[in-house]
Every structure is written in structure tokens, then in C-alpha cells.
Amino acid sequence: MTYEPARLLMGLAKKGGLEKYIDITTGDLSKDLGCSQQTASIYLVRLTSEGYIDRIMKSSGSRLRMTEKGLDLLMRMYADLHSMFGKERMIKIKGQVASGLGEGAYYLSQKGYIDQIKEKLGFDPYPGTFNVLLSQQDSPVIELLRRGAGIDIGSFTNGDRTFGGCICYKCLIEGHPGAVMIPARTIHKNTLEIISDVRLRSLIEEGNAGVEIDIDYPSSL
């Protein structure tokens, strides 16, 4: 691994080094970082020489705590992360309308999904999904949504079959209200599945490369 002061300081802070001196050996640190003991020792020397930690050498290891400079670095990183994940924002994305496998109608006819969508999203879903193919450049947004603080639609059992849960985000597609569904289990790596209370396919022409989607992305912190 490369020398990354913020990552190293975060690991020490988790051990209590933010508010007090902690005892640590290079052996312990090397296990935490997945590096050699020699590399861990070099990193501690650098953190000390650069003023990020105060370090007192002991016969077995070190006693150290974070300095004001180390705290400032972590606070700046926190502020940057909070600006990205700590406030609600709108994610704007474009894609091309794509044909699905026809499975959406089956899944959205299940009472377990219908009832939760009505309760949590506020509309009665049309039985079918509207698929939008994203470019390779834009497809990472799917993983961002998968890990975000969306609206949870829980899994349920109907007879002998279990239906998986998903995370939903309210959205506008070409000005029409709906919701993006991110299933817990899916074969789609670059396709957004969108639901609405109307048949979106009758409103938006298939093959339109300029379909615009505005996704309401809530705070994750």
C-alpha cells in the first residue's frame, strides 16, 4: 500500500488515538494495514516527522496520539465527505431507452411489492419497468445508488417463492414522476429500472438517446 496519512490517521483514531495516547506495536499496525512490519515502522516515522502524531518510543512498541495537525487533516476529509454524502442532492443522468426481458410486469404484480410501493413511494405502480441503458462512463452511478440511503423495499415470501428486496429513489424521467429501483439481486450492470404510476413506454419513445433522469439522492450521513 502507498503512504496515505489520512487513512493511517483514521485507523489510529478508531483505536482511540484521537483523544488520548494509545499503545501500539509495528506488528499490530502491519496487520491492520496488510503490509510488512518494516513498512508500518516507516509510516510511523513519517507521520511523526510530518507532525501528524506525537510518538513516545517504548521498549515494546510506541505510545502515540494525534496532533492538532493530524486532527485538522481528518476534519478536512470529513468536510469533503459531508459535502458529498451529508446533504440531499439531485443526480442528473442521461441514457437510452432499452427493451427489458418482460419480467417487470410479473414482479410488479406481486402484492408484496405493490403494497410497499404504495406506502413508501406514494403511488400505485404500473405493472412493468422502464429500462434505461447507461453508458460505460455513467454506469457507476448504479453502485452509488446501491450503497446509498434510498427507500427500502423489503423482501417477502409468496407461497414457496421468496422475492428479493430493493432500494428505491424518487426521480423524474423526462419530467414524469417515478422511482429508480435497484434490486438486491440483478443481472443488470448498466441498466436503470424505473417504475411509475403510468406506462412510461407510451410516453417516451424507445431508442431516444437523450432520455434525462433526475434522481433524488438523500443524505447518506
Range of the domain at 34: 5-85
Q: Count the domains in the chain.
A: 2
Whole-angstrom distance, CA of residue 53 vs CA of residue 70: 7
Show which of 56, 85, 114 is a domain's final residue: 85
In this prediction, residue 160 has a pLDDT band, given cuts at 50, 70 and 90, of confident
Instruction: Decide which of 157 and 188 is more confident.
Output: 157
Helix (H, G, I), strand (E, B) or coil at 177: strand
Q: Are residues 108 and 200 in the same domain?
A: yes
Residue 209 pLDDT: 57
What DSSP element (H or E) covers 107? helix 104-107
Which residues lie closer than 8 Å to 6 by C-beta, 6 or more apart? 73, 74, 77
| Helices 68-85/5-12 angle, 10° precision | 100
Residues 27 and 101 in one domain: no
Q: Are residues 129 and 176 in the same domain?
A: yes
Is residue 4 scored above 80 in pLDDT?
Answer: yes
CB atoms within 10 A of CB 68: 9
Residue whose entry in the numeric block shows the C-alpha cell 422475492? 163
Q: What is the per-residue burial (b if ≥16 Cβ within 10 Å, else e) of 45-66?
A: eebbeeebbebeeeeeebebbb
Asked if 113 contacts 163 with a C-beta cutoff of 8 angstroms, the reply is: yes
What per-residue confidence (pLDDT) applies to 107? Answer: 87
Instruction: Report the alpha-carbon distance of residue 115 to residue 163 in Å, rounded.
Output: 14
Q: Let me know: does 191 contact 76? Beta carbons within 8 Å.
A: no
| Same-domain check for residues 149 and 54 | no
Average pLDDT over residues 139-162: 91
Rounded CA gap, 128 and 180, in Å?
13
- Which CATH number belongs to the domain containing residue 166 in this structure? 2.40.30.30
Average pLDDT value for residue range 28-47: 92
Looking at 85, 112, 139, the residue that finishes a domain is 85
Judge if 141 and 208 occupy the same domain: yes
CATH number at residue 65: 1.10.10.10
Maximum distance among all Cα pairs of the chain, rounded to whole angstroms: 75
Mean pLDDT of 207-217: 81
Q: What is the mean pLDDT of residues 161-175?
A: 94
pLDDT digits (tens, 9 = 90+) for 62-92: 999 999 999 999 999 998 888 888 888 899 9
Give the pLDDT confidence of 97-144 residue by residue, as tens digits. 887 666 778 889 999 999 999 999 999 999 989 999 998 888 889 988
**Do 200 and 177 share a domain, yes or no?**
yes
